[in-house]
Amino acid sequence: MYRVWLIAGAANMLLALVVAAATGHRLEGEFVPVIRAIFDTAREMHFVHALALIAVGIVSAQFGRKLLIDLAGWAFLIGIICFCGGIYLGFGPNATQVRPLIPVGGLSLMIGWVLFAAGALFLKRPATV
């Protein structure tokens, strides 16, 4: 499972970079400063939580699969999709349907950190042979 988290983290880092490049060059109009600030928040959260997925992968590789760590990974992934994705899509044609997902995603990111901390609390060094 650790490979899944490492790949998900790397893919999300790439996606966050693509979004950053696209929004940096494509935003136009009188509301650009406000929209850019909103996108900057989503992009920053996307980068940070992509790194969190990589951390979940590293911890899983080092200590083996742990339920709380895996749940943290899922919470981070759901949070990225709902929070960051909700903001990215919140200015598109389906904005009204997507915007309710944003607070769900934010809560999921917070839960992910609680789960990661709880999982770390119970980690034990694997026995050496």
Work out the number of other CB atoms within 10 angstroms of the CB of residue 44.
Answer: 13
CA dihedral of residues 94, 73, 42, 108 (deg, nearest 10):
70
Interval 19-66: pLDDT, tens:
888 877 766 665 667 777 888 889 999 999 999 999 999 999 999 889
Q: How far apart are CA 2 and CA 10, in angstroms?
A: 12
Helix ranges (H only) for 27-100 are: 32-63, 67-79, 85-89, 95-98
Residues 6+ apart with CB under 8 A from 118: 68
Q: For the whole model, what pTM was predicted?
A: 0.88
Question: Tokens 């997902």 — which residue?
Answer: 101
How deeply is 10 buried, as exposed, middle or buried, from its count of CB atoms within 10 A (0-12, 13-18, 19+)? Answer: middle
pLDDT at 4 over 80: yes
Q: Which of 15, 19, 26 is nearest to 50 (CA)?
A: 15
Interval 78-100: pLDDT, tens:
999 999 999 988 877 777 888 89
